[in-house]
Homo-oligomer: A and B are copies of this chain.
Amino acid sequence: MATRTHAPTRREQILKEAARLFAERGFHGVGVDEIGAAVGISGPGLYRHFAGKDAMLAELLVGISGQLLTGAKRRLQEAEAEGGGNPGTPGVSGASGALGVPVGPEAEAVLDSLIEGHIDFALDDRPLITLHDRELDRLRDSDRKLVRQLQRQYVELWVEVVREVYPGLAEPAARSAVHSVFGLLNSTPHLGRPGSLPGRAATATLLRRMAKGAFAAAGA
Contacts and interface: CB of A to CB of B under 8 A. Distances in A.
A183 B191 CA distance: 11
Contacts of A134: 134
Contacts of A94: none
A119 B175 CA distance: 18
Interface string A176-220: 110111111111001100001110001100110111111111101
Contact of A190 (B179, B209, B213): B179
Number of this chain's copies in the complex: 2
Nearest to A217: B213
A209 B220 contact: yes
Interface residues of A, number: 45
A138 B30 CA distance: 12
Contacts of A26: 26-29, 135, 138
A183 B134 CA distance: 14
Contacts of A138: 25-26, 29
A172 interface: yes
Contacts of A212: 217
Contact of A177 (B177, B190, B206, B215): B206
A203 B218 CA distance: 11
A214 B220 contact: no
Given A176-B191, A209-B220, A210-B218, 15 more contacts: A24-B137, A29-B138, A172-B196, A172-B197, A173-B198, A176-B206, A179-B191, A180-B184, A183-B185, A183-B190, A209-B217, A209-B218, A211-B214, A213-B214, A213-B216
6 contacts: A26-B28, A172-B197, A177-B210, A183-B184, A183-B187, A213-B216
